[in-house]
């Protein structure tokens, strides 16, 4: 839970805004595809102890050139060397095991060939080979046409399936099956468990720790309203913009933010506990009305109705104002009783969460309705009144509103506070910093002039800022330059991933277009970033190496009709090339056999005679 105003901030606890992508206690593992909606009616309830144990440090997503900070330095610290002689002994043992495994396979092959040679007489191999040769010589050309045509059809189907599987999941199906099932059968080991003190064990532990700290799913600070925006998109297009995985994470957030252990003492809060777990929107809305019948001052019921039942931003704002009145009353009452017991302290934290959420959504309503200065004032007041809640990334909402006001000096002041080496980065921070530096030179920038006279100091700073932003999230430029189509952003994002790029470009593309020449400078310089990081998965320039887990998480966060951007671009697997070549060659043989049956028949008989 988020600490209240009287509690000390917990920097090591990211709360529901920053969870490790790979661990969600109490939640089922969501597959890549969207399951049938009739299979699950309720979101699983999150045990409080399990939810608290799953939180991890949010520091460590960036590594600047002059050194990391906070948890980043801890996670990047070198592993102490193993005791004398132990590492060499472990390496010798592993080499011996590998040699014995290879020798065992060779012995089995030799034994099989020797047994076949010894049984050649009882099995009458020579007579059987002669019979096979005679049978092949008696075959007509029509048989070879059918054989090659069938082979071409089957290999073509395999090729189409392999291509589809690679486009959907980013890997080869045949390769995956071979590694998972066939490799153990031939003596290979898929998961080698290193010795506790071996250097390889330390390196793997460091790598796993780094991947776990980087692959975090964060609440999108600019997420849209389900009723007024997401559902209207579904009504118009017939497409579902939110995935089951994304909605599961939102259900977990709602249970963490809006519930506590004392809810059983109030009937309206008990009803809302069930409402947040309901998967069916009409059932959630019905439960919210039931809660209001029990208690007309149930703030969370108004929040649910504003999020899901309101079909316009105006209606949502009216409901949030009702929720604000009820939430302020409950918050003042909780402040008076917070020191009576631990249960009252937990209730105060819950009521603080509800009040902050309502004010933030009211600020977003004001922003969407054009009252930008009012939205900026609400956000600034929130950041002053609740400083421990910086994990909610309210400053990203403030940055976007200030950019809309074209208050670039205020934007620079916010960046000076949050674009710090010890704080986690985001695409909004990196690309806004690049936009401000680009703004000073973009209107006079010309590639031809720059190639003749060279870059000025201000232009070099702008280009370096663009390179820094592109290294952090390389997916954003394609959306800003409109090389890829935008979709509605998800409710959760993965930093440095395609989901974060969609969320940033959806709201900030207009700000880049407003500054003359900004997109032109971006187009001329963004691809130069990749020359500085030729191996992005192994070594970065200003940040940690690009995490390899982003593709899997983005495929679960983004809808299936969106083509997920993958970085670095993957080469086609071997088996796609192999099946494509096999299909082409067999199709060519089928065509030649059909056109020249006699010549191909003679060639086939000669080939079979040479083989057997």
Confidence grade of residue 609 (pLDDT, cut at 50, 70, 90): low
Report the pLDDT averaged over residues 291-300: 90
What helix, strand, coil percent values describe the chain, rounded to 5? 65, 0, 30
Rounded distance between C-alpha atoms, residue 193 and residue 201, angstroms = 8
**What backbone phi and psi angles, to 5 degrees, belong to 455?**
-90, 140
Confidence grade of residue 193 (pLDDT, cut at 50, 70, 90): very low
Give the range among 46-55, 102-111, 553-562 with minimum mean pLDDT.
Answer: 46-55
Residue 455 has pLDDT above 80, yes or no: yes
Report the pLDDT averaged over residues 270-284: 89
Q: Which residues contact 446 (CB under 8 A, 6 or more apart)?
A: none
Confidence grade of residue 40 (pLDDT, cut at 50, 70, 90): very low
Confidence grade of residue 190 (pLDDT, cut at 50, 70, 90): very low
In the prediction, which pLDDT does 409 show? 93
User: pLDDT: is 107 or 95 the higher one?
Assistant: 107
Residue 612 has pLDDT above 90, yes or no: no
In the prediction, which pLDDT does 386 show? 84
Express each pLDDT in 489-542 by its tens digit: 999 999 999 999 999 999 999 999 999 989 999 998 898 888 888 888 788 888
With pLDDT > 70 as the criterion, what percentage of the chain qualifies?
A: 70
Rounded distance between C-alpha atoms, residue 489 and residue 491, angstroms = 7
Confidence grade of residue 49 (pLDDT, cut at 50, 70, 90): very low
In the prediction, which pLDDT does 120 show? 64
Helix axes 550-557, 244-258, angle to 10 degrees: 80
Q: Is the peptide bond before 348 cis (omega within 30 degrees of 0)?
A: no
**Minimal CA–CA distance to 552: which of 275, 217, 267, 237?**
217
Sheet holding 216-219, edge to edge: 18-20, 216-219, 492-494
Confidence grade of residue 77 (pLDDT, cut at 50, 70, 90): very low
In the prediction, which pLDDT does 538 show? 81
**Does the reported pTM lie above 0.85?**
no
Confidence grade of residue 570 (pLDDT, cut at 50, 70, 90): low
Residue 276 has pLDDT above 80, yes or no: yes
In the prediction, which pLDDT does 444 show? 85
Confidence grade of residue 68 (pLDDT, cut at 50, 70, 90): very low
Report the pLDDT averaged over residues 61-69: 36
Residue 34 has pLDDT above 90, yes or no: no
Residue 70 has pLDDT above 70, yes or no: no
Q: What is the largest CA-CA distance in the chain?
A: 100
In the prediction, which pLDDT does 74 show? 36
444 Cα distance to chain centroid:
38
Give the range among 31-40, 544-553, 572-581 with minimum mean pLDDT.
Answer: 31-40
In the prediction, which pLDDT does 158 show? 84
Q: Which two tokens stand for residue 129?
A: 């080979």
Q: Residues for the chain: how many in total?
A: 612
Long-range CB contacts for residues 580-587, cutoff 8 Å, separation at least 24: 580/159, 582/151, 582/155, 582/159, 583/152, 583/155, 583/156, 583/158, 583/159, 586/148, 586/151, 586/152, 586/155, 587/148, 587/152, 587/156
Express each pLDDT in 137-150 by its tens digit: 666 777 777 877 88
> Hunting for tokens 């299979």 — which residue is that?
39
User: pLDDT: is 126 or 296 the higher one?
Assistant: 296
In the prediction, which pLDDT does 26 show? 36
User: pLDDT: is 68 or 571 the higher one?
Assistant: 571
User: pLDDT: is 63 or 549 the higher one?
Assistant: 549
Report the pLDDT averaged over residues 362-373: 94
Helices (runs of H) and strands (runs of E) counted in the chain: 28, 3
Confidence grade of residue 194 (pLDDT, cut at 50, 70, 90): very low
Rounded distance between C-alpha atoms, residue 363 and residue 374, angstroms = 7
With pLDDT > 90 as the criterion, what percentage of the chain qualifies?
A: 32
In the prediction, which pLDDT does 13 show? 40
Q: Which two tokens stand for residue 189?
A: 């080991």
User: pLDDT: is 562 or 22 the higher one?
Assistant: 562
Give the range among 373-377, 401-405, 569-573 with minimum mean pLDDT.
Answer: 569-573
Report the pLDDT averaged over residues 462-488: 93
In the prediction, which pLDDT does 136 show? 62
Average pLDDT score over the chain: 76
Could you report how far apart the first and last alpha carbons of the chain are, in Å?
Answer: 75
Express each pLDDT in 403-433 by its tens digit: 999 999 999 999 998 887 777 789 999 999 9
502 Cα distance to chain centroid:
12
In the prediction, which pLDDT does 87 show? 45
User: pLDDT: is 212 or 232 the higher one?
Assistant: 232
In the prediction, which pLDDT does 191 show? 44
Report the pLDDT averaged over residues 562-572: 78
Report the pLDDT averaged over residues 312-337: 90
511 with 480: CB under 8 angstroms?
no
Q: Which two tokens stand for residue 42?
A: 């309720």
Give the range among 94-103, 142-151, 199-208, 476-485 with minimum mean pLDDT.
Answer: 199-208
Confidence grade of residue 361 (pLDDT, cut at 50, 70, 90): very high
């Amino acid at each position: 839970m988020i600490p209240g105003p009287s509690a000390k901030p917990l920097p090591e606890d990211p709360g529901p805004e920053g969870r490790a992508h790979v661990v969600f206690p109490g939640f089922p593992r969501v597959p890549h595809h969207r399951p049938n909606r009739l299979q699950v009616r309720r979101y699983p309830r999150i045990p409080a102890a399990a939810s608290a144990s799953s939180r991890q440090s949010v520091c460590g997503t960036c590594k600047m050139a002059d050194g990391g900070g906070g948890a980043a330095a801890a996670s990047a610290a070198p592993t102490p060397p193993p005791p004398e002689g132990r590492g060499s002994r472990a390496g010798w043992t592993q080499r011996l095991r590998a040699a014995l495994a290879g020798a065992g396979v060779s012995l089995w092959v030799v034994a099989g060939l020797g047994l076949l040679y010894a049984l050649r007489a009882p099995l009458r191999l020579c007579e059987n080979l002669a019979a096979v040769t005679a049978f092949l010589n008696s075959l007509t050309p029509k048989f070879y046409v059918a054989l090659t045509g069938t082979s071409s059809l089957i290999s073509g189907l395999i090729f189409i399936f392999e291509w589809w599987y690679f486009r959907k999941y980013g890997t080869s199906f045949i390769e995956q099956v071979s590694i998972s099932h066939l490799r153990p059968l031939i003596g290979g080991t898929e998961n080698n468990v290193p010795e506790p003190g071996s250097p390889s064990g330390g390196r793997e532990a460091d790598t796993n720790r780094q991947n776990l700290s980087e692959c975090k799913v964060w609440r999108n600070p600019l997420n849209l309203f389900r009723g007024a925006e997401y559902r209207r998109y579904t009504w118009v297009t017939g497409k579902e913009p939110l995935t089951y995985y994304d909605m599961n994470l939102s259900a977990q957030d709602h249970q963490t933010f809006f519930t506590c252990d004392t809810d059983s003492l109030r009937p309206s809060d008990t009803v809302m506990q069930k409402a947040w777990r309901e998967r069916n929107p009409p059932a959630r809305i019905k439960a919210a009305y039931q809660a209001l019948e029990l208690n007309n001052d149930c703030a969370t019921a108004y929040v649910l109705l504003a999020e899901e039942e309101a079909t316009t931003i105006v209606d949502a704002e009216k409901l949030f104002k009702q929720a604000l009145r009820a939430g302020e009353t409950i918050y003042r009452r909780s402040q008076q009783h917070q020191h009576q017991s631990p249960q009252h302290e937990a209730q105060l934290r819950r009521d603080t969460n509800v009040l902050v959420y309502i004010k933030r959504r009211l600020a977003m309503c004001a922003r969407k309705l054009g009252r930008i200065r009012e939205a900026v004032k609400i956000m600034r007041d929130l950041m002053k009144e609740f400083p421990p809640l910086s994990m909610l990334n309210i400053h990203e909402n403030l940055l976007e509103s200030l950019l809309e006001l074209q208050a670039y000096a205020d934007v620079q002041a916010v960046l000076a506070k949050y674009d710090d080496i010890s704080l986690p980065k985001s695409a909004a921070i990196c690309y806004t910093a690049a936009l401000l530096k680009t703004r000073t030179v973009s209107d006079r920038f010309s590639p031809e002039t720059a190639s003749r006279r060279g870059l000025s100091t201000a232009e070099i700073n702008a280009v370096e800022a663009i390179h820094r932003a592109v290294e952090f999230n390389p997916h954003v430029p394609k959306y800003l330059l409109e090389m890829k189509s935008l979709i509605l952003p998800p409710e959760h994002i993965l930093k440095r991933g395609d989901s974060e790029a969609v969320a940033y470009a959806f709201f900030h593309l207009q700000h880049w277009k407003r500054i003359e020449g900004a997109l032109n400078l971006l187009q001329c310089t963004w691809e130069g970033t990749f020359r500085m990081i030729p191996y992005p998965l192994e070594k970065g320039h200003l940040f940690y190496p690009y995490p390899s887990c982003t593709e899997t998480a983005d495929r679960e966060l983004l809808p299936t009709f969106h083509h997920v951007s993958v970085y670095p671009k993957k080469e086609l697997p071997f088996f796609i090339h192999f099946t494509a070549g096999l299909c082409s060659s067999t199709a060519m043989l089928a065509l030649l056999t059909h056109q020249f049956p006699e010549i191909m028949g003679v060639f086939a008989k000669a080939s079979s005679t040479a083989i057997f």
